[in-house]
Amino acid sequence: MVSPELNNVIEWIPKLWNHLNQFLETHSSSDVTIGPRLFSSCPMDVNGSEVWFTDLWNYSIVPYVVETTREGIQMYGKRTPFTDPTDWVIETYPWSASTCWPDWAHNLLRIRAEDVNYETDKPPDCHQNEDSDPNCSDPLLNMLLRLQEAANYSNSKNKEN
């Protein structure tokens, strides 16, 4: 017989899996979604499953999500506003014994916009001061500007000769 609290955990895990994959697809692509096997080692006791989840979140999920999201944003750009998936985890956390915010929520690593290079304060004239402003990190724009500089440099050298 499964306890109601453990049943909540078991029902929550597929929702978490779906939420994480939607986040990854939004900020990267469906090629980097997480498979169900990652969650198959969940212990079948409430306390053990909470410790298991905290370790899984901090040492497997967060590093993977940060890396794939960073690569996705670099490749595809910002396609939607950034929201930390940890917010959803905290809002829906199924372990009722841990209802006190300071006791458990601080054990979960957060995924911040700056962790994935999601700049929110990009200046409007970024192309004019890209070298002096680290917020100007659009790789395609940077490449085009460098090509333009190289072409201008080559043209000025040819005119001198």
In the chain, the amino acid numbered 48 is: G
Q: Identify whether residues 30 and 92 lie together within a single domain.
A: yes
Q: Identify whether residues 68 and 126 lie together within a single domain.
A: no
Per the structure, how many domains does the chain have? 2
Q: For residue 123, what pLDDT is reported?
A: 45
3-class DSSP assignment, residue 52:
helix
CA 25, chain centre distance (Å): 11
- Rounded to whole angstroms, the Cα distance separating 109 from 60 reads 11
Q: Identify whether residues 103 and 130 lie together within a single domain.
A: no
- 17-37 b/e with 16+ CB inside 10 Å = b? beebeebbebbbeeebbbeee
Single out the residue of 104, 17, 109, 113 nearest to residue 57, CA to CA.
109
Q: Identify whether residues 99 and 160 lie together within a single domain.
A: no
Are the beta carbons of 119 and 72 closer than 8 angstroms? no
Averaged pLDDT in 10-residue chunks for the chain of 161 residues? 89 97 93 95 93 95 94 88 93 73 73 84 47 58 73 63 57
148: containing domain:
121-161
Q: Identify whether residues 50 and 13 lie together within a single domain.
A: yes
